[in-house]
Every structure is written in structure tokens, then in C-alpha cells.
Amino acid sequence: MPLNPAPWLVTQAPDPALALRRQMLVSSLFKYVAEIQEIEGGYAFKFRRSELLIRRIADYIVFEGQHSLQLMFMLVSEPEDGSVWLQVRGPESEKEHIRTSYTTHLMRVSPPA
């Protein structure tokens, strides 16, 4: 299946390898999004809890945090092993980029265990 790179959020990736790594992280994570909510300054993405997804979210936050410095990330865990929410916030000018970068990967498969 060919990869369709999502737009780089804050700046264009100077290195094709970084763009490919980002695309791999985004596509392997955001296909498991169960729900999206617009929040102040960005969006919240709901995931069903799984150890593998929590690791993928952490990998994504570390990578994106190094390359999209204007974005802020917050992970919120619902009680009693409930869902996990990833909040991505940034300047108003980035809000549309946040939405379009991730909504193309809406949940297509069940989350991994």
C-alpha cells in the first residue's frame, strides 16, 4: 500500500527520511482513533486503551515534539482502564493542519492488544 504523506504540521520536513518516519508514526497510530473532539487550540483524539497504542502515542509525542515545536501534547487517561485521549494543541494557524493531518487516518481497524 503506498504511503500518502500528510502535511508537515509546523514546518516542512527538511529531510525525506524524517517525513517518512513521521508518516509511518501517524499512519500506524491514527488509524485507531475512535473519536475526535475539537478543543480549545486543537483537537482531542480518543483511543481505546491498549499497551501497544500507548507506546505508539509516546513514540509519536517524542518525535512530533522534536519537530513541531509549536505544538503541545497532553495524554489523558480515563479511570478504570477507560479510553486514552491524545490532545494536540497549537497556534490557531495550525489548527486546520492538525485536523487534516490526522482525520485522513480515521479508525479502520480494531486496536491492538
Overall size of the chain counted in residues: 113
| Spatial contact of 22 and 64, defined as CB atoms under 8 Å apart | yes
Q: Count Cβ atoms within 10 A of the Cβ of residue 54 and give its class: 0-12 exposed, 13-18 middle, 19 or more buried.
A: middle
Q: Does residue 12 form part of some domain?
A: no
Angstrom distance (rounded) from CA 89 to CA 38: 10
pLDDT of residue 10: 43
Per-residue burial over 11-35, b if 16 or more Cβ lie within 10 Å, else e, is eebeeeeebeebbebbbbbbebbee
- Domains in the chain: how many in total? 1
**What strand order describes the sheet that includes 35-39?**
35-39, 42-47, 84-89, 72-77
Structural domain of 39: 34-103
Average pLDDT of the segment spanning 74-90: 93
pLDDT band at 30 (very low <50, low <70, confident <90, very high): confident
Q: Tell me, yes or no, whether 25 lies in a domain.
A: no
Domain assignment present for residue 64? The answer is: yes
Query: Residue 50 burial by CB count (10 A; 0-12/13-18/19+): exposed, middle or buried?
Result: middle
DSSP type of residue 11:
S
Please tell me what DSSP assigns to residue 113.
-
Q: Is residue 19 part of a domain?
A: no
The pLDDT assigned to 12 comes to 52
The tens digit of pLDDT for each residue in 53-65 reads 999 999 999 998 8
Evaluate whether residue 86 is within a structural domain.
Answer: yes
Question: What is the pLDDT, as a whole number, of residue 52?
Answer: 92
